Amino acid sequence: MSLPIFRIDDIGASTKAFEQYGNRWFRPFSNFGPLKRIPPFRMWGPYQELTADQWLVFLQIFREHHIVPIIAITATWVDENSHLIPFPEKFPDEANTLKQAADRHEIIIANHGLTHCVVGKHLPRPCSSNRSFHREFLPTLDQEVHTQHICASQKILETFFDRPIEMLVPPGNVWSIKTYHALQGTNIKKIMCSRHMVETHEEMEGVQFIDDHKGVVRFHDRELCLFGEPWLRRVITQAVSVGENSSRMEA
Ligand SMILES: [Zn+2]
């Protein structure tokens, strides 16, 4: 039986607080003022960062199913004043819980950017969506920005988790040839997401692109926060049953 890879994105990212836009069924009405923060108009944020106690429950569920999920962490929280607060400082209990799980080889840590957003353009707008600025590695940004964000995020994550971080999960599936150039000299050997770099499909040297359309169950901490343990158990049960069926077909 082949189980899919499980990946959870947006750990530590302030996108969960500041990416706010309305449900398309109610637009433009749903983008006005606080409406975009309230169900059923809300499409993304705000929602809460997971606590250490919540993680202990989710980690136990993964353990029961012998699943080692990839945990894609954004290395800093960007606050209202555009200050960058490293993940271990902003969420020490959560960070320590994940560190202990990584030390037990129960999770794999991936890099989900330094900020997840364009700093300074990340705050909610009065009457429109800010979604396009909750992507980090936009091709329109200078090479220097790509390089600085990759290097700084790797430094924070590798120092705290005390291991090489070998996978990048670009926020919002957006990355550029500049991001690829920024990876040179780092420990990142894999980029996992739904789209290749914006500018070219050329082969990369020393970096493997993994298309997550197949064989990867990907979601965000948002689903865990909003729907909790029953939701995760249901997703795992479905993935296991699909895995069993495909194994039977292969056999
Ligand atoms: Zn993300």
pTM recorded for the entire structure: 0.91
- Cα 149 to ligand 1 centre (Å): 15
- Cα 222 to ligand 1 centre (Å): 10
Number of H helices, E strands in the chain: 7, 9
pLDDT per position as a tens digit, 7-63? 999 999 999 998 876 666 756 765 666 755 667 766 776 899 999 999 999 999 999
- Cα 7 to ligand 1 centre (Å): 11
Residues 189 and 151: beta-carbon distance below 8 Å: no
- Cα 43 to ligand 1 centre (Å): 14
State the distance between the two ends of the chain, measured CA to CA, in whole angstroms.
Answer: 10
Structural domains for the chain = 5-250 (3.20.20)
Question: In terms of DSSP H, where are the helices of the chain?
Answer: 15-18, 52-64, 87-90, 92-103, 143-161, 177-183, 221-250
Residue, of 3 and 196, whose pLDDT is higher: 196
- Cα 3 to ligand 1 centre (Å): 23
- Cα 185 to ligand 1 centre (Å): 24
